[in-house]
Amino acid sequence: MDGIGIYEIWKGLLWPLLRLMFFVSLGLMVGNFIEALNWTGKVAKLARPLTRLGRLSPVTGASFSVAFFSGVTANTMLAEAYDQERLSKLELVLANLFNSLPRYFLHLPTVFFLTVTFIKGAALIYVSITLAAACLETFSVVLVGRMFLPKSAEKHVAKIDSKQEKTSWREAVAKTWERFKRRIKRIAAFTVPVYVVFFLLNRSGLFDVARDHLADHVPFLAWLHPKALGIVVLHVTTELSAALAAAGSLLDAGGIGYRDLVLALLVGNVLSSPMRAIRHQFPYYAGIFSPRLAVELILYSQTFRAVSIVVVGAAYYFLI
């Protein structure tokens, strides 16, 4: 591995790490402040119909509502509740999966305007399918929660409003700062070294080798249009924008139809997600949760997401 220049260290490591720690810190502060002011129940009201049906606690409901604006804040709320034993391991996993819908809406504007720029009308189909997959994931969590979570959560939801204690802003700020100082040390102790390790692994070319290996072994995609395979390979080996550029070029040349184009993007989405999760999710998940728990949550999340996309994509493949 060649020497690393100062600019590369700043651009590839220090600046992204500082930005990540800033948003993690901000999320932690907001989550702690909501808890300190006893606003969890109020924020959870927005998701009350779903959480009541799924026997999910107010903390999960509050996390769901906050996740529409900040995924980091939502995760820090869940981590705090789990550490304080207000969430069981099962509900923590379900809560993380439950937030798939707000996470989707958080990135929807960027994804939509990027896709519609390159693939025009096909963007509506692609976005609709991925939205349907996110909805399927969230409603599946509600069903699983209804089946396996205890009824005590429902009773807790019913009583939560009557037990709210008033806290002054001064007390809330002091309590938030104390909680923040304790938790940010642990988060930094895991996030910083993990991020550095992944930076070095990425620079060594390990992730490029893994992606190229995956891209070269796609015989199980023989059912796809031959020209669509290039879209899948670009999605896996580079990023979504490159795959969309290739898709738009094929579409303009008349070399591929909407259906094959959308299916190729869905396949690329599923195949590229694990690599993106390892590189981008794990460093900050390992700081918010314990490293082992972070791996479990990412594994469950990626598996559930992939299955949801496959189910909805299969319906589109066979019914359209």
Least confident of 62-76, 119-133, 189-203, 296-310: 189-203
Residue 129: alpha-carbon gap to chain centroid? 17
Nearest partner of 237 among 282, 199, 277, 276, judged by Cα? 276
Number of H helices, E strands in the chain: 17, 0
Q: What is the reported pLDDT for 113?
A: 84
DSSP conformation class of 255: S
Kindly report whether the global pTM for this prediction surpasses the value 0.85.
no
Would you place residue 117 in the very low, low, confident or very high pLDDT band (cuts 50, 70, 90)?
confident
Q: Where are the alpha helices (DSSP H) in 99-159?
A: 100-119, 122-148, 152-159
Note the pLDDT tens digit of each residue in 37-74.
Answer: 665 555 557 678 888 899 999 899 989 988 887 788 88
Q: How far apart are CA 102 and CA 69, in angstroms?
A: 8
Q: Compute the mean pLDDT over every residue in the chain, rounded to the nearest whole number.
A: 80
Question: What are the residue ranges spanned by the domains of the chain?
Answer: 6-319
| For residue 125, pLDDT beyond 70 | yes
Note the pLDDT tens digit of each residue in 250-266.
Answer: 887 777 889 999 999 99
Note the pLDDT tens digit of each residue in 77-109.
Answer: 899 889 888 899 999 999 999 999 888 888 888
- Burial track 139-177 (b if 16+ CB lie within 10 A, e otherwise): ebbbebbeeebeeebbebbeebeeeeeeeeeeebbebbe
Contact 73, 62 (CB under 8 A): no
Q: How far apart are CA 320 and CA 310, in angstroms?
A: 15
CB-facing half-sphere around the CA of 217: CA atoms within 13 A = 6
| For residue 166, pLDDT beyond 70 | no
> Largest alpha-carbon pair distance within the chain?
64
